[in-house]
Amino acid sequence: MGRVKMKIINASNARAIDRLLTPSGGGDRAFERRVQAIVDGVRTGGDRALARFAKRFDHLSGPIEVTAREMRDGAARVEPAVRRAIAQTAANIAKVAARQIPKHFDLTVAPGVSIEQRVEPLARVGCYVPGGRFPLPSSLLMTAVPARVAGVREIYVCCPRPEPAVMAAALEAGITKLFRIGGAHAVAALAFGTKTVPRVDKIVGPGNRFVAAAKAAVARTCAIDFYAGPTEIVVVAGGGTPDWIAADLIAQAEHDPDARAIFITWSRPLAARVVKAVIRRSAGRTIVQQSLGANGAVIIARNADEAMMLANRFAPEHLVVDREALARRPLTAGAVFIGPYTAQAAGDYATGSNHVLPTAGAARFRGGLSAADFVRVMSVQRVTRAGLARLAPTIVPLARAEGLEGHAESIEVRLRVRPKP
């Protein structure tokens, strides 16, 4: 393949900007029906259907479950440096996750009226770990470690090809079971349960479009973290080292031909130097060239304010800004990386912040995966007779204004007649 051709767009070109903002690959009804058929097959056919799909899509010839001994043997084959990296990553993720759990509280709203916020971990969760082009032990850690920190008792992991590094991460994270299945059939098994794969309360983790579509298909039955599309990065800079900026763009582009990598700047000379660096550094990397050629772009803004306005419109999974001043404003992104040394890849592996992040504009309404995703927050209410009497002038008029006479009477009857001892 020839050298990558990265689009250079002026921010004033509204039509080109709108095309970049429109996620690709959506609305494929035929594909959605295909995924739904797989999901329905597992829901009704259980293990038999699951084994059939696993053989067809995962090329599985052995048992679905990876035994504890297999995990230990696999982990033993991992280089010591990688095992140490896995342990340190897990420790950093746990340190951050411990601060993310909502807090229990008891509050007296008025005399005789109290509210307790009770925080309970989910009982079972399913973590999906992709097993396509690369083994991804980091994705296992990013999903399973926060669940463990939140207090989830049973953590099940599905990975179509669990390499030794993934097995080492599974042991480090303290998961319950690991299954050699992937794709839509793995999601369906976790959502509905089979004899081999237990039904879970929530499914989390990244995956290909089969996984994403299956998660959307089961969302009414089983909670999911969010619908995740191809990975994306937006870099905003008015200065800096072109090779460093190019390296960040390429780091995301190498994930997938559908990945989006966008550089926004108000410096035309810097834009030209970054494009040259991208061309040079992407030589011979087919997937990177496909990704940047199809979905990459350099946008020339009039100034820093316009650049950040555009970045917020994209609501990207990863937002990299070259200086602190650019971050001193409302931001819309899955995760933000500030300054030349805060490489996006540092967040993928080592900072402790989670790399399972919203894509395709979903950062407009939620952030990345956290320990808070693995708990239920309940309101527990206690009201005395005197407290109810204080609340009655608020409750009764509102209930009758809404035409709900029974609601009003349920208060009045308690205040008219004292219960017999």
Q: For residue 1, name the pLDDT band (cuts at 50, 70, 90).
A: very low
Tokens of 201: 């309360």
Tokens of 174: 């303290």
Active site residue 407: no
Residue 204 forms beta bridges with which residues? 127
Sheet arrangement for strand 105-110: 105-110, 113-121, 375-383
Tokens of 291: 């990704």
Catalytic hit among 318, 402, 407, 412: 318
Q: Which residues contact 179 (CB under 8 A, 6 or more apart)?
A: 64, 65, 66, 156, 157, 158, 159, 186, 189, 196, 197
131, 159 contact by CB (below 8 A): yes
137, 165 contact by CB (below 8 A): yes
pLDDT at 330: 94
Domains and CATH numbers, the chain: 7-24+230-348 (3.40.50.1980), 29-100+121-227 (3.40.50.1980), 384-416 (no CATH)
2 pLDDT exceeds 80? no
What number is the average pLDDT over the span 143-163?
Answer: 97
Return the percentage of the chain with pLDDT > 90, whole number: 87
Pairing of strands 177-179, 202-204: unpaired
Residue 331 forms beta bridges with which residues? none
Average pLDDT of the chain is 94
323 vs 325: CA distance, rounded Å: 6
99 pLDDT exceeds 50? yes
- For the chain, report the end-to-end CA distance as a whole number of angstroms: 87
Active site residue 324: no
Q: State the pTM of this model.
A: 0.92
Q: What is the largest CA-CA distance in the chain?
A: 88
Catalytic hit among 172, 232, 317, 355: 317
pLDDT at 420: 65
